[in-house]
């Protein structure tokens, strides 16, 4: 298995299933793992502010018996105050893992290349893979399966859309992404998902029609229209994205038992209305909690001593995750 968790694309479908299996075990039996990472320290580098990423990694490493070390932009300004190489070579001698939440994806790639300890991608402008792991864990819990689910993402073709495509392709889901013209996901991301989907009986579809994407969906998912760093575009984006709001009318085109998901924070009244996000079919807070369990699984597998040596190939997941 890979030393680092930079992208869901870096793993096999079976390994992604294994991570979810471990997350289920950690959630069901948290008391069995309270010393699993005893004596280990996770350096958490935040170039972007966060609620869920900060809390779930901080609490998660402590629940595994380890220690969190929060590093804000005041301590580290990657590539500015100090080079990524120098930060990596310093931290590898002091801690046992690094989590990075930053802007450019190249930063986490460079950190992993230079550090001899595990590096976890907490978020970049290109991908949000820890979020996607929590998302599909939630789908598995609520729907009992992932394979064959129609997952409709409505909104901006951003890092969340990329990661939903990647994970869906790995796990056998049929992922639809509906965006305004010109806001589609990165073409290379779509191409990778299409190739992997062919091997897992999944599918990925990009459209500009939100009704077509949501029609008959098992899961309807959205995200903010203007992400961090796009604040200057917020007013213009609000006008462009208004037809892509997930409201009761759009949600009604999904299956009667469809669920609503959002990675949060939500801008209520913009990408989603209160009657959807506060409905009994909304699982946004279970989804947020699952960041904790999914990330604990990632930390455990990457940071526990001799984990890779114990297992030459990933154990098959006990749960049915792929077709």
Cα–Cα nearest to 99, from 108, 109, 110: 108
* CA separation, residue 6 to residues 112, 120, 122, 198, 278 (Å): 8, 6, 8, 23, 33
Q: Counting every residue, how long is the chain?
A: 323
The answer to whether residue 274 is catalytic is: no
On the question of a cis peptide bond just before residue 265, with omega within 30 degrees of 0, the verdict is yes
User: Catalytic pick from 9, 105, 128, 237?
Assistant: 128
Query: Distance between CA 21 and CA 25 in Å, rounded?
Result: 6
291 has catalytic annotation: yes
Q: Catalytic residue among 58, 262, 263, 295, which?
A: 263
Q: Can 24 be counted among the known catalytic residues?
A: no
131 is annotated as an active-site residue: yes
Q: Is 321 exposed, middle or buried (0-12, 13-18, 19+ CB in 10 A)?
A: buried
281 part of the active site: no
Q: The tokens of 233 are what? A: 């575009």
> Phi and psi dihedrals of 294, rounded to 5?
-65, -40
Of the residues 9, 105, 291, 293, which is catalytic?
291
262 φψ region: left (φ > 0), alpha (ψ -120 to 50), beta (else) = beta
List, in sequence order, every residue forming a beta bridge with 150; answer none if it has no partner: 174
- How far is CA 110 from each of CA 54, 68, 72, 84, 277, rounded to the nearest angstrom? 22, 22, 19, 7, 38
Catalytic residue among 63, 223, 262, 295: 223
Q: How far apart are CA 161 and CA 128, in angstroms?
A: 9
101 catalytically annotated: yes
Inter-axis angle of helices 284-303 and 13-28, nearest 10: 110
Catalytic residues: 101, 128, 131, 223, 263, 291
């Amino acid at each position: 298995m890979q030393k680092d968790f930079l992208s869901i694309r870096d793993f096999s479908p079976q390994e992604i299933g294994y991570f979810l299996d471990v997350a289920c075990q950690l959630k069901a039996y948290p008391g069995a793992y309270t010393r699993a990472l005893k004596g280990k320290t996770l350096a958490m580098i935040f170039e972007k502010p966060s609620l869920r990423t900060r809390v779930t990694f901080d609490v998660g490493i402590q629940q595994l018996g380890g220690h969190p070390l929060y590093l804000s932009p005041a301590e580290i300004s990657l590539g500015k105050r100090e080079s990524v190489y120098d930060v990596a070579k310093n931290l590898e001698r002091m801690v046992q893992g690094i989590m990075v939440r930053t802007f450019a994806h190249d930063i986490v790639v460079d950190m992993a290349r230079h550090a001899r300890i595990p590096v976890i991608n907490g978020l970049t402008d290109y991908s949000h893979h820890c979020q996607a792991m929590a998302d599909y864990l939630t789908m598995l819990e609520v729907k009992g399966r992932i394979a064959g689910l129609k997952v409709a993402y409505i909104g901006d073709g951003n890092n969340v859309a990329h990661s939903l495509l990647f994970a869906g392709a790995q796990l056998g889901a049929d992922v639809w992404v509906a965006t305004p013209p010109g806001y589609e996901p990165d073409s290379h991301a779509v191409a990778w998902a299409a190739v992997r989907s062919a091997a897992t009986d999944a599918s990925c579809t990009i459209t500009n029609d939100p009704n077509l994407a949501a029609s008959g969906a098992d899961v309807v998912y959205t995200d903010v229209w203007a992400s961090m760093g796009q604040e200057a575009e917020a007013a213009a984006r609000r006008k462009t994205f208004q037809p892509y709001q997930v409201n009761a009318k759009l949600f009604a085109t999904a299956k009667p038992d469809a669920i609503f998901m959002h990675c949060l924070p939500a801008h209520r009244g913009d990408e989603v209305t209160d009657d959807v996000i506060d409905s009994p079919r909304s699982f946004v807070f279970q989804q947020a909690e699952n960041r904790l369990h999914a990330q604990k699984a990632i930390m455990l597998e990457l940071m526990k001593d001799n984990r890779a040596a114990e297992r030459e190939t990933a154990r098959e997941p006990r749960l049915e995750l792929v077709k």
